[in-house]
Structure 1
Amino acid sequence: MEQSKEIDFTGQNIYIGIDVHLKTWNVTIITQSGYKRKHRQQSSAKELFEHLKKHYPNGSYHAVYESGFSGFSTYHALVELGIQCMVIHAADVPTTQYENVMKSDSIDSEKLAKALRTGILKGIYIPDRNKLDDRAVVRVRKTLQRQLAGYKTRVKHLLYNNGVSIPECFDNPRTHWSKRFMRWLREDVVLLSSGRKSLDLLLDQVELFRKSLLEATRQVRALSRTDRYAEVYQNLTSVPGIGLIVGMCLLTEIDDIHRFKNARQFASYLGLIPLSHSSGQKLIHGEKTFRGNKQLGPMLVECAWVTIQHDRAMACAYGEYRKRMKPQEAIIRIARKMSSRIMTVLKSGKKYEYDRCR
């Protein structure tokens, strides 16, 4: 009988490391037996799938790539084609000194494939694709708020550069950017030069971003009233210090609270666990790690300042912390306590009950 020459990878795992870029992917493929092959291709999940079907037919395909600019679009494109995929945090990829010194796209894809084959990688959470736009709306609002603050600062900087003093009637910063204040900027301010086009351009941007920010806030508020969020949003905002923006930011960023097994894991996600570094007899502790969600951690620290003014238990805890540490350190401890309460509220589906400060 003539032996068949057709290659068949049925029952074998094929490990694929992808270094994702805008126009091209560097791909390393390692078979279950250890055979390795590399290639460069267009940024296309379909093209990769066709390559796998041709060279590794009937295999069980497992891919991994580092989280980055492409977000989860690459993940969903691969999964839809039947390729199991994992998205990994770049800092969690094991790297040798050689790979650090001789860094290249080809080496990056190879170390991803090798780590995937050994089974030591732990992927990041993949949010529900139907909620990605909700999260993006809240993030866009945050961006607009930051850009608006930047233009307001530029306006005041221009005034100072031109020796313009703000009238006494606007001594209270809360009156700044009111209709009266904007009318003064538009009609009464005179710069050093005869023209004032620069100021008018900046004021146009301030008004534009204020309008966009207002619309974004309306969109966020509308989201909080949808069936998907309404009940859990009401429970979450029962925690003192958490309002519309922080509440919706928490809900859209966390997605599923049940993916966290305990309070420490949740605090780690928020970036509120202490930094620890020890070597021999040298031991260093910090208040926060550099890891964690960059959107939520700083927000909760700000909320903690409000919480201690309303929640008696939190106020007492802050007072005890202040006996042995600085205010900035104490408030981070309060933020950690808040994270535990938030987790409890989200998992239990009940509102937060507390003793109010008189």
Structure 2
Amino acid sequence: MRIIGLDIHRAFAEAVAWEDGKLRRLGRVDMRRALLTAFAKRLSKDDVVVVEATGNAAAVAAVIGPQVKKVVIANPMQVRIIAHAKIKTDTIDAGVLAQLYASGFLPEVWVPDEPTQALRRQVTRRNQIVRQRSRLKNIIQSILHAHLIPSCPHADLCGGKGRAWLAEQIVPEDERLAIERHLREFDRLGEDLTVIERDLAGSALADDGAKRLMTIPGVDMIVALALMAAIGDVARFSDPQKLVSYLGLNPSVRQSGPGPAYHGRITKQGRGHARGMLVEAAWVAARAPGPLRAFFLRVRARRGQHVAAVATARKLAVVIWHLLAKGESYAWARPLLHAKKLRDLELKAGHKATRGQKGPAHAYNIKSLREEERRWVEQAETAYARFVTGWNPRGPKRARAGAATEER
């Protein structure tokens, strides 16, 4: 069996084969699909190809995969830590990939299936459009700031009231034209955003996991799909702490010799966008009644609200693992609110409105039913707060004293 390392670039890849304990350079491979396919056909069904995770690694694996035994995608960050060298060339890098796999030290990454990759692309496109729209708002605000105009008194600068206020402000003619141009671009991006969110809503309606996550307070369609795209198959995480680590929400640890271990800030490794979505959901959950709000308030009293938000996001990751792994809904879900979320999904996906008919989400419009559901969840919040009253995160004092005595 040969192990072939490919050091991939945008236009070409350097190929090196590891066979019988020796490295042999195979030369450069053009990254155009037809030429890459021709190279793959020269390989054997017993060969293993190793590449680093790059922007086009999945496409390379899709082309080469049918022609070889296996295509392995390596974690580039961990490969650099293991194989750091003063002398670096493409040939050396390709050879290192092959040798690391042959020795069993290659840190592999999980390759999602095609539906998960498509969902990741759609979530990324939406995120890019949202960031571009935020950037345009900031540019308009900077133009106003440059001419000593205070911030817009309305919540949305590009909304109806915000634009009416904006039209009343006195700025030079060239700046006025620039603002109008930015607003037109903002509207065009809004149309693209509507199309993408319609597709995402259809994906959410067809995904039982996403609908299950939406039973959690603070988790809407966008958060649920971002998490489903990042997690993929939850079975690859054997316990919730593995998922927490994958999302970069676990604390960093420093320990050496006989000294104690020091826990610092979260590692922030892994899927950054999904981690950000979880933190946003944590802020929303902190304002909604339920055990999650009680948890947030308890941590906030000791560590401040920002640490509490991150801790709640970590708690959400643990809850999400249990929901997906066990196929259950959130225990303290609000059924009426969840029905409204699903109905909003249907409308966003393009389903026809049924005016005059009482659907599953109609009960949410009845105030008495909403308040009754809210009181039920508030009781769960009170019960959780009572349960953890006096709880010491460092353990009983007697146990700590005994441990200190044993150390002496």
Q: Which residue of 1 aligns with 2:183?
A: 203
**2:22 and 2:58 mapped to 1: Cα distance?**
29
Tell me which amino acid in the other structure corresponds to 1:129. E
| 2:23 maps to which of 28, 33, 36 | 36
Structure 2 length normalisation: TM-score?
0.75
Q: Which residue of 2 aligns with 1:171?
A: 153
Other-structure match for 1:24: 12
For structure 1, which runs of at least 5 residues remain unmatched after alignment? 1-12, 53-57
Q: Out of 293, 296, 302, which is 1:315 matched to?
A: 293
Which of the two has greater helix per residue? 2
State the 1:123 CA deviation.
1.6
Structure 1 residue 121 displacement after superposition:
1.8
Deviation string 1:12-41 (CA, Å, 9 cap, x unpaired) is x1011111011111111111x212111222
Take 1:329 and 1:111, find their aligned partners in 2: how far apart are those partners? 41
Please point out which of 90, 102, 106 is paired with 1:117.
102
SS across alignment from 1:74:
helix
Tell me whether 331-340 or 280-289 shows the greater mean CA deviation: 280-289
The residue number in structure 1 matching 2:221 is 244
- In the other structure, the counterpart of 2:194 is 214
Partners of 1:181 and 1:175 lie apart in 2 by 6
- Return the alpha-carbon distance in structure 1 between the equivalents of residues 177 and 39 of structure 2: 54
In structure 2, distance between residues paired with 1:215 and 1:182:
24
Per-residue deviation, residues 253-291 of structure 1 (Å, max 9, x unmatched): 222111111001111111111111223447542231131
- Specify the code of the residue in structure 1 equivalent to 2:76: A
Q: Please give the alpha-carbon distance, in whole angstroms, between the structure 2 residues aligned to 1:323 and 1:165.
A: 35
How much does 1:96 deviate? 6.0
Aligned match for 2:68, one of 82, 89, 95: 82
Structure 2: gaps of 5 or more residues? 333-375, 380-408
- State the one-letter code of the partner of 2:170: V
Q: State the number of aligned residues.
A: 331
What is the CA distance between 1:244 and its match in structure 2? 1.0
Equivalent residues of 1:137, 1:220 under 8 A apart: yes
Contact 2:5-2:51 within 8 A present in 1 as well: yes
Q: Which amino acid aligns with 1:88?
A: A
Q: What do the CA deviations read for 1:203-259 (whole angstroms, capped 9, x no partner)?
A: 221221222222222221122123xx1x32221100111001001111222221111
**Secondary structure of 2:266 counterpart:** coil
2:335 aligned partner = none
Distance 2:4 2:289 in 1: 51
Deviations, residues 95-135 of structure 1 (Å, cap 9, x unaligned): 567x4322222221111111011112242111111332222
Partner residue of 2:163?
A: 182
Aligned with 1:164: secondary structure?
Answer: coil
Q: Give the superposed CA RMSD.
A: 2.3
Relative distance call for 1:151 and 1:114 in structure 2 (3 A) is: same
Question: How many percent identity over aligned positions?
Answer: 22
Gap change, CA 1:36 and 1:239, over 3 Å in 2 = same
Distance in 2 (alpha carbons) for counterparts of 1:87 and 1:59: 18
Are positions 1:357 and 2:378 aligned together?
Answer: yes
Give deviations 1:168-214, integer Å, cap 9, x for gaps. xx523x243222322443x4443235663222221221221222222
* Paired amino acid for 2:88: K
Q: Is residue 309–residue 357 contact of structure 1 (8 Å, CA) maintained in 2?
A: no
Q: TM-score, normalised by structure 1?
A: 0.85
C-alpha separation between the residues in 2 aligned to 1:28 and 1:144? Answer: 40
Pair 307,107 (structure 1): closer, same or farther in 2 beyond 3 Å: same
Tell me by how many angstroms 1:345 deviates: 1.1
Q: Residue 45 of structure 1 aligns with which residue?
A: 36
Residue 287 of structure 1 corresponds to 265
Secondary structure at the aligned position of 1:127 is classed as coil
Alpha-carbon contact 2:240-2:321 (below 8 Å) kept: yes
In the other structure, the counterpart of 2:402 is none
